[in-house]
């Protein structure tokens, strides 16, 4: 039985997907059962690096979403609209959905999944997080027996590339970003990547699946890497750390339930020990570390973007749907393939986070400065692990402080008082430590 595909979008990932579907030799036999039936594009006349008949191209994407002959819609146009509307329209007309659109899923996932479950169709999204890394289906299937405690991931290749270059070359952020843009690793407008917004979308999706919870994107704390300096990279290395942009979702490991009412979700640059599994993930690669009970730790690693890796994830989702449809397995949607959210959750305010901090101060070069810092921190129950004066810069002393575990609210109160001291010139860097 041949299943007909409606492909919305023929950009980089769309072309990669089409190439796989058009060359089934040596791949899984199910790919032989798939036909690219219609393709929606903005410009039919555009030259593309794929052998697709112009007769199946159209600029009317809604017509594809509602075509009674189409079985599966692949949404690869990106952005919020018309992607959301087209997905919902296709579901309304009984189409199964495969999407790589993290932005739509992180914002409108509940609406889309509810619509899909009512119409007994699938929404598959392996390509939305981690590119070619299988992580969505493992969370739903292989790891489904586990109580998930935490997900910690490097999920944005652009920022990881920038931080890797800064570490290896001692370069500044702005210089590496410009180079990344010229090489095509960063967009002309890099805001979504370097300010952590892309990673925020992805951890919202992973967190909702891991903890069965409805997550409001706006409640996730998010901080990017644009303020990271070459000096911070150097000092981190001297302290046996590397700096990575981490996306983190945590429940409560002592809970006897598979879900929790309160979660931690956050994105921010973090100092991680060089011995940590994520410390060696460099360049544009992604890695996602999942901890649960009884499995312990498991890590997924691979290319997080690009035509080939993302298309691989897209086609794997198509195959999963095809296998179910071919065997007419009931119920539809299959409970291991569908997405459900069991309850709403409360995301813990960042001020309640218990973590270590790295802070770099520029102060007057006078006796007693370190003592005053220690007194202010002690007043707010902030215990210091190390205090190092690294040198003199423009007649200012540079002091690097690493704390023990502390409630973030207490730490921020201490910093507020420290900033008011006349000996403090500035606080160039404040980073969390894993």
- List the catalytic residues: 202
Per the listing, tokens 């973030």 go with 408
Q: Are 258 and 147 in contact (CB under 8 A)?
A: yes
DSSP 306: S
Whole-number Å distance between alpha carbons of 361 and 346: 34
Between β-strands 424-433 and 147-154, what pairing exists: parallel, antiparallel or unpaired? Answer: unpaired
DSSP string covering 390-415? EEEETTEEEEEEEE-SEEHHHHHHHH
Closest CA to 69 of 86, 41, 87, 94: 94
Between β-strands 262-273 and 424-433, what pairing exists: parallel, antiparallel or unpaired? Answer: parallel
Grouping H, G, I as helix, E, B as strand and the rest as coil, residue 291 is strand
Grouping H, G, I as helix, E, B as strand and the rest as coil, residue 378 is helix
DSSP string covering 217-282? GGGSEE--STT--HHHHHHHHHTTEEEEEEEEEE--TT-SSSS-SEEEEEEEEEEEETTSGGGG--
What is the token pair recorded at 128?
């939305």
Which residues lie below 8 Å from residue 281, measured CB to CB, with a gap of 6+? 154, 160, 244, 287, 301
Long-range CB pairs of 413-416 (<8 Å, 24+ gap) are 413/380, 414/376, 414/377, 414/379, 414/380, 414/382, 415/359
């Amino acid at each position: 039985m041949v299943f007909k595909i409606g492909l919305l979008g023929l950009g980089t990932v769309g072309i990669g997907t089409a190439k796989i579907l058009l060359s089934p030799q040596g791949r899984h036999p199910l790919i032989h059962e798939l036909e690219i039936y219609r393709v929606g594009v903005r410009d039919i006349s555009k030259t593309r690096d794929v052998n697709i008949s112009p007769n199946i191209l159209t600029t009317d994407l809604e017509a594809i979403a509602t075509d009674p002959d189409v079985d599966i819609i692949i949404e690869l146009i990106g952005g919020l609209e018309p992607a959301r509307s087209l997905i919902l329209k296709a579901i309304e007309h009984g189409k199964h959905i495969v999407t790589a659109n993290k932005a739509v899923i992180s914002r409108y996932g509940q609406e889309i999944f509810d619509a899909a479950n009512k119409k007994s169709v699938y929404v598959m999204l392996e390509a939305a997080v981690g590119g070619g890394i299988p992580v969505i289906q493992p969370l739903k299937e292989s790891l489904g027996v586990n109580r998930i405690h935490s997900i910690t991931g490097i999920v944005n290749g652009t920022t990881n590339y920038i931080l890797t270059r800064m570490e290896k070359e001692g370069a500044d952020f702005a210089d590496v970003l410009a180079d990344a843009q010229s090489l095509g690793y960063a967009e002309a407008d890099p805001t979504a990547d370097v300010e952590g917004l892309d990673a925020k979308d992805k951890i919202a999706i992973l967190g909702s699946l891991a903890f069965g919870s409805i997550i409001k994107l706006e409640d996730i704390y998010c901080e990017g890497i644009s303020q990271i300096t070459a000096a911070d990279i150097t000092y981190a290395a001297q302290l046996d750390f590397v700096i990575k942009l981490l996306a983190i979702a945590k429940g409560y490991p002592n809970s006897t339930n598979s879900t929790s009412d309160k979660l931690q979700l956050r994105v921010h640059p973090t100092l991680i020990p060089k011995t940590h599994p994520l410390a060696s993930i460099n360049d544009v690669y992604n890695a996602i570390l999942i901890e649960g009970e009884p499995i312990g730790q498991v890590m997924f690693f691979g290319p997080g973007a690009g035509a080939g890796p993302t298309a691989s994830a897209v086609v794997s989702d198509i195959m999963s749907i095809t296998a179910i449809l071919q065997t007419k397995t009931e119920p539809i949607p299959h409970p291991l393939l569908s997405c459900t959210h069991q309850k709403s959750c409360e995301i813990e305010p960042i001020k309640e986070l218990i973590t270590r901090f790295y802070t770099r101060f520029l102060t007057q070069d006078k006796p007693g400065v370190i003592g005053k810092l220690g007194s202010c921190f002690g007043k707010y129950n902030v215990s210091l692990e190390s205090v190092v004066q690294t040198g003199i810069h423009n007649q200012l002393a540079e002091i690097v402080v690493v704390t023990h575990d502390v409630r973030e609210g207490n730490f921020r109160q201490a910093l507020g008082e420290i900033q008011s001291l006349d000996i403090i010139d500035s606080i160039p860097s404040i980073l969390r430590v894993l």
